[in-house]
């Protein structure tokens, strides 16, 4: 046989095997052509050094601030949520300060639908009411001021101005209640991380991008906030977290930890709700977890406490009222008079774990006992379900003996009937105005 025929048959055989292998996805039993392995040479590429941003957000001021570092970011996380390895829940991350529409039935109300930041929002709402109701007529002794006036109906511009005043008030109060009368600190979010994430700290998209700004006067603080209020009121920025961080740094972390004592370690609970320390920090500038007056040095049996319990030192500007239907009658939480009788007739309420605010348009309610005999309170709970303002009339001249007997509790009543007869909010009001007659003016009572 011709050698050329043998070579041709061999090639055809190899081609058939190759085709069969490709058809069935088999591994080729032979190598059609030799390949030369090229040894890869690993190059030692130097690691790029992290560069701290040279510029932060445009504040429209001469205050250029400084970027946050890893140590401070960890400390902020720990004092707010308890762990540097965790971040805020989604409702905190999405939250920003927003009002209802000016043409709505409650134009002064801020949106407080998210459960995590609700207490913070309603605490800020008290400052909003302060500026909408009383800032412009502090020295007004006219009859209109004495008897009260209608609830405010601010425009969008007036809403924004009130928010600027509220943020300024809260930060200034946190800074000036310190013994050193320190600086106000504001945190804003930049575009780029300010440090390289290491260790237990996990980046969350905003804490590592913070810039820190300090101010020495209330007027300087107000000007800075006015130019940068959009960081707190825009959906593109976590406004609630920025305010929370700013209040912490204005109070300072070291002083805040002393405020906590051994009662707690962070401003938020495990389920991201506000602690009493956070409410006190916002309303009084001090992060104590207690709501009694002064300092308690002994227990109920007169034995000296190892660590005194520091409560409110002076009369608060805004008030706080508390009621929990599940507490035993003889062991109910007692709110001190520093909170019950504030400087302004505005109260944050915590009723069965749910927050709201009460306010009176008559400034004299907390200064003149004659006004306190018969007056109206307005209530807002922050929920989207409340579409209209609730007005409650309180008559302290009418005592228990003349209250409608149909609303009294009988031993035959079940829990649902008791709730219908004595709403928890009404019982909360009785902690401040005991045995008074409360008229809901046709409103469905809030529980």
Lowest mean pLDDT of 49-58, 71-80, 310-319, 333-342, name the range: 49-58
pLDDT of residue 136: 63
pLDDT of residue 50: 81
Distance CA 52, CA 195 (A): 6
Q: Give the highest mean pLDDT range of 17-21, 107-111, 370-374, 413-417.
A: 107-111
pLDDT of residue 422: 79
pLDDT of residue 138: 46
Residue 96: pLDDT over 80: yes
pLDDT of residue 18: 55
pLDDT of residue 145: 42
Lowest mean pLDDT of 143-157, 163-177, 182-196, name the range: 143-157
Distance CA 186, CA 227 (A): 12
- Of the chain, the percentage scoring pLDDT greater than 90 comes to 65
Distance CA 170, CA 246 (A): 10
Adjacent-strand bridge partners of 49:
none
- Of the chain, the percentage scoring pLDDT greater than 70 comes to 81
Contact 291, 333 (CB under 8 A): yes
Mean pLDDT, the chain, as a whole number? 86
Give a yes or no: residue 266 inside a domain. Answer: yes
The model carries a pTM of: 0.84
Residue 108: pLDDT over 50: yes
| Mean pLDDT of the region 206-233 | 97
Q: Give the highest mean pLDDT range of 54-58, 119-123, 325-329, 424-428.
A: 119-123
Contact 173, 139 (CB under 8 A): no
Residue 305: pLDDT band with limits 50, 70, 90: confident
What is the domain extent for residue 194?
Answer: 60-99+154-289
Residue 182: pLDDT band with limits 50, 70, 90: confident
Residue 417: pLDDT band with limits 50, 70, 90: low
Give a yes or no: residue 223 inside a domain. Answer: yes
Contact 358, 378 (CB under 8 A): yes
Give a yes or no: residue 356 inside a domain. Answer: no
Convert 7-35 to b/e letters by CB count within 10 Å (16 or more is b): eeeeeeeeeeeeeeeeeeeeeeeeeeeee
Give a yes or no: residue 92 inside a domain. Answer: yes
Give a yes or no: residue 35 inside a domain. Answer: no
Residue 77: pLDDT band with limits 50, 70, 90: very high
Give a yes or no: residue 207 inside a domain. Answer: yes
pLDDT of residue 13: 64
Residue 402: pLDDT band with limits 50, 70, 90: very low
Residue 263: pLDDT band with limits 50, 70, 90: confident
pLDDT of residue 330: 86
Domains in the chain, number: 1
pLDDT of residue 298: 81
Higher pLDDT, 216 or 304: 216
Distance CA 118, CA 385 (A): 14
Q: Where are the alpha helices (DSSP H) in 134-252?
A: 143-147, 156-176, 218-228, 230-233, 239-251
pLDDT of residue 342: 97
pLDDT of residue 11: 54
pLDDT of residue 405: 45
DSSP 8-state class, residue 165? H
Is residue 200 classed as helix, strand or coil in its secondary structure? coil
Distance CA 346, CA 362 (A): 10
Is residue 94 classed as helix, strand or coil in its secondary structure? helix
pLDDT of residue 419: 55
Contact 395, 439 (CB under 8 A): yes
Residue 300: CB atoms within 10 A of its CB come to 6
Distance CA 280, CA 296 (A): 17
Residue 43: pLDDT over 80: no
Q: Give the highest mean pLDDT range of 87-91, 140-144, 326-330.
A: 87-91
Phi-psi domain of 207 (left: phi exceeds 0; alpha: psi -120 through 50; beta: other): alpha
Higher pLDDT, 113 or 301: 113
| Mean pLDDT of the region 169-186 | 91
Contact 92, 241 (CB under 8 A): yes
Residue 426: pLDDT over 50: yes
């Amino acid at each position: 046989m011709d050698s050329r025929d043998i070579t041709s048959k061999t090639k055809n055989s190899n081609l058939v095997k190759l085709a069969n292998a490709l058809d069935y996805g088999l591994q080729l039993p032979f190598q059609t052509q030799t390949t030369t392995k090229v040894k890869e040479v690993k190059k030692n590429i130097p690691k790029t050094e992290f560069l701290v941003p040279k510029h932060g957000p445009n504040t429209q001021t001469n205050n250029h601030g400084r970027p946050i570092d890893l140590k401070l970011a960890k400390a902020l996380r720990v004092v707010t949520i308890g762990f540097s390895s965790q971040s805020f829940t989604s409702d905190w991350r999405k939250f920003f300060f927003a009002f209802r529409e000016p043409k709505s039935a409650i134009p002064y109300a801020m949106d407080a639908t998210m459960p995590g930041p609700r207490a913070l929002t309603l605490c800020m709402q008290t400052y909003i009411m302060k500026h909408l109701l009383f800032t412009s007529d502090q020295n007004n002794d006219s009859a209109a001021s004495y008897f009260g006036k209608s609830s405010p109906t601010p425009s969008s511009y007036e809403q924004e101005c009130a928010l600027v005043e509220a943020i300024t008030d809260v930060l200034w109060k946190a800074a000036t209640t310190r013994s050193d009368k320190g600086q106000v600190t504001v945190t804003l979010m930049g575009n780029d991380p300010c440090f390289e994430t290491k260790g237990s700290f996990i980046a969350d998209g905003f804490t590592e991008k913070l810039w820190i700004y300090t101010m020495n006067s209330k007027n300087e603080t107000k000007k800075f906030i006015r130019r940068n209020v959009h960081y707190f009121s825009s959906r593109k920025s976590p406004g609630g977290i920025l305010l929370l961080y700013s209040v912490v740094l204005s109070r300072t972390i070291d002083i805040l930890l002393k405020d906590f004592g051994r009662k707690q370690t962070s401003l938020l609970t495990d389920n991201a709700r506000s602690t009493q320390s956070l409410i006190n920090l916002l309303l009084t500038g001090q992060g104590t977890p207690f709501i009694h007056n002064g300092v308690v040095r002994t227990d109920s049996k007169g034995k000296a406490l190892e660590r005194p319990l520091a409560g409110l030192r002076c009369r608060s500007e805004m008030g706080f009222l508390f009621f929990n239907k599940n507490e035993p009658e003889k062991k109910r939480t007692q709110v001190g008079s520093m909170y019950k009788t504030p400087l302004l007739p505005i109260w944050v309420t915590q009723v069965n774990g749910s927050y709201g605010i009460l306010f009176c348009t008559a400034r004299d309610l907390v200064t003149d006992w004659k006004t306190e005999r018969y007056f109206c309170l307005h209530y807002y709970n922050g929920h989207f379900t409340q579409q209209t303002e609730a007005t409650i009339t309180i008559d302290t001249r009418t005592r228990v003996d003349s209250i409608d007997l149909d609303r009294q509790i009988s031993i035959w009543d079940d829990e649902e009937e008791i709730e219908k007869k004595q709403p928890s909010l009404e019982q909360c009001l009785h902690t401040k105005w005991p045995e008074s007659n409360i008229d809901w003016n046709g409103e469905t009572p809030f529980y």
